[in-house]
Amino acid sequence: MDKIVLVKRDKIARLCQKYGVKRLVVVGEVTVGLSGRGRRDLDFLASFHDPDAPNRGGWNAPQFKLAVDLEDLFEGELDRVVVGIEGEYKHPSVKPWIEKIREVVYADS
């Protein structure tokens, strides 16, 4: 896992607890050693204790609030933070790639 995530793992865990995240994984360039090449993005996939939570509240839904707080946490270090919903990516060409390179950042025990 990229150092940029590792050094903030405790703060990320607190945000996950705040928003009812069951599990948060990071995917993309930071998991395969390509971060630091120009643009720096972090792509997260979250699953929530309440599976309906992302569907309630519009822009006040926990996934969007989590994304905003993660952007604030990494302010100045990244160009973009994205939080998607784990399990929503079912396209046959995308799903195996995500399953292969994802790294768990937070898991509620």
**Range 80-84 average pLDDT:** 73
Domains detected in the chain: 3-107 (3.30.460.10)
**What distance in Å separates the CA atoms of residue 7 and residue 4, rounded to the nearest whole number?**
6
Average pLDDT estimate for 75-82:
72
Higher pLDDT, 13 or 4: 13
Question: What is the Cα–Cα distance from 3 to 53, expressed in whole angstroms?
Answer: 30
Give dist(CA 31, CA 26) in Å, integer: 7
In the predicted structure, residue 11 carries a pLDDT above the cut 90: yes
Question: 71 near 78, Cβ under 8 Å?
Answer: yes
For the chain, how are helix, strand and coil distributed in percent, rounded to 5? Answer: 40, 25, 40
pTM of the predicted model as reported, rounded to 2 decimal places: 0.79
Q: pLDDT by residue (tens digit) across 35-51?
A: 555 557 788 889 999 98
